[in-house]
Amino acid sequence: MNTLILLASTSSSSKLETEIKNGFTTQLLQWHGLPKSLLPISGRPALSWWCDVAKTLFENVYIVANAYNYKHYERWASGHNFPTDHILNCGVSTGAASDIAFVHRVKKCGTGAMIMGTDFLYDSDQDSWFVDLITELATKQTTTNHLFTYGADDNNHSLLLSTISYDTLESLVESPQNSTLQDATKDNNTTSQVQQPSTHLYMDDSLSLDAYISTWLDYFGKRRNKSSSSDKTDVLEVKAYARVGLMGNPSDGFYGKTMSMLISNFWAQVTLIPHDRSEPEYSNVTIMSNPVADPRRFSTIDSLANLVQTDGYENGDRLLLACCKVFYCYCNKARINIDTQQGFKLLFDTNIPRQVGLAGSSAIITACWKALLKFYRITAEQIPLEKQASLVLSVETEELGIAAGLQDRVIQAYGGLVYMDFDRQFVEEHGYGRYEQLDVSLVPSLFLAYVARPEDSGKVHSTVKQRFLNNDPEVIEAMEQFASFTVKAREKLIRGDHHGFAQLMTANFEQRRKTYGDAVVGAPNLRMVELARKHRCVAKFPGSGGAIVGMWDGSDEATCQQDLLKLRHDLESEGYVFVELAPMDGET
């Protein structure tokens, strides 16, 4: 027999499920509605302790759920590497016999099947005899049915396991019976008593909430080693910094060339806290919300409404979730072994201004990525920096559908000042571009100004991307022009020609204004550039809009500080924020 059917179709609630439903503490609320078999035992759903073993013993494992608990089991399957099409929804169960017939009708159990309940909790240390029994039964071809019961009281046995022949399955399909399994097979079965599982009290319908919390919530915890040389204990705090696009943007998303620099003024920090073996959630991964960026608690409902009105519904948690998923899937695909036995808590903090094109979301993802690299001890030899940048980009573009280019992820992977060539043929062949790290000291003193209350920076890209995909000659030519500015800017910096670099910054902005139009560029952005030019400065967008990066370009050095001070005052008087930039030298 190569098929196991686990029945979770009963509509009646156990005592434990009822007591949880009637409680409203923070702990109980997170368990509301969960079937008993999906309640946590030492950090894992009870069902997982048996199902992980069962998948190695059977070719097919099916779970029969009902219309009320199906979504719970489907969600469990999605998170535990269990095929969701093996979770079968019987609607409203009319009895175990009909549920088993339903599985055979839909999936065809060719050699018969073994039947169990989903609330079986497997203890590999004390109940290895059960696997031996399963293994022995699986090799036998039989035309009879066998029921295996347990219980210390001869008059009160509980059913643990049944083996049902193919002929019986066929008869159940042909003549549906709304009955128990025992009644449906009573004319052709034998019953044997087996050893009582060490976990039989958990399977008892009379299990109380108090007993569950005191005995079963961390049942396996006592067996975890107190320490292990492979355990990580250090809290990891990893920063990724904001960046300014100095030249060529936005051509990074159009196979162009750009130059970008990290700044130490703003950063995102991800904190990874490894679980200790003493914790029931030792293997769990928990994404903790940021109370400022991702609040879950509000002083009043009007506070909730006001915050949503300002910040919208999208939050940073999704960035961490998507990053962890891409990281794990890539390691799995690349056959990079990571030990998933130890879990962690993950949270982020950031002071990067939102929606002003400084790569704030990319910084959060990059910091998360670097924290995962450290936790799982993965080196740049295993995942090269250029590949890391492409993977971080895929978190936003492929997982979350956020419009983005490679520039941000490259600079946050490499650090310092980087010249980037996104030649189309090279990128399509390798999945990344050609990158050259330059000396940060080549860059003149820069300032940043940004809108205090910005709109979504993603809107600035407008329809240009689609026009590019449609081979619009005007857009193609514009992106080539941006790329040429970057080539020239690299030469100007190497030669120390800051005035020439400033002229290219102006050219970059004017080309962007021409390509996107003033309506898309936006009046607040145009005003910042206008004020900069009023005080002998040049400026351009460091990203997709909402901020400008600039430099003084006057002829008399003696007026530089006074010009910048006046510019600052003018910007601040109109509600903008002014910052003198501090470059971040070297790798982050």
Cis peptide before 250 (omega within 30 of 0): yes
Q: Which two tokens stand for residue 228?
A: 């292990």
Alpha-carbon distances, residue 151 vs 124, 134, 200 (angstroms): 20, 19, 9
> Can you tell me which residue has the tokens 């961390």?
218
> Can you tell me which residue has the tokens 């969701």?
84
Distance CA(497)–CA(110), nearest Å, equals 79
Distance CA(317)–CA(419), nearest Å, equals 31
Distance CA(33)–CA(38), nearest Å, equals 10
Distance CA(82)–CA(8), nearest Å, equals 16
DSSP state of 215: I
**Cβ atoms < 10 Å from Cβ of 479:** 23
Q: Which of 119, 123, 317, 408 is catalytic?
A: 408
Distance CA(538)–CA(478), nearest Å, equals 20
Distance CA(376)–CA(38), nearest Å, equals 28
Distance CA(551)–CA(529), nearest Å, equals 11
Report the amino acid identity of residue 307: L
Q: Which two tokens stand for residue 538?
A: 């040049």
Distance CA(305)–CA(311), nearest Å, equals 10
- Virtual torsion, Cα 333, 346, 412, 358, nearest 10 deg: 130
DSSP state of 37: G
Distance CA(33)–CA(17), nearest Å, equals 8
Distance CA(27)–CA(20), nearest Å, equals 9
Give the gyration radius of the chain's Cα atoms: 31
331 three-state secondary structure: helix
CA angle 221, 222, 225 (to 5 degrees): 90
Report the amino acid identity of residue 310: T
Look up 408 and say whether it is catalytic: yes
Residue 141 host element (H or E): none
Alpha-carbon distances, residue 297 vs 152, 293, 302, 349, 350 (angstroms): 50, 12, 12, 17, 19
Nearest partner of 165 among 177, 178, 147, judged by Cα: 147
Interior/surface letters 309-320, b for 16+ CB within 10 angstroms, e for the rest: eeeeeeebbbbb
Q: Return the axis-axis angle of helices 96-107 and 166-174, rounded to nearest 10°.
A: 100
Enumerate the active-site residues: 408
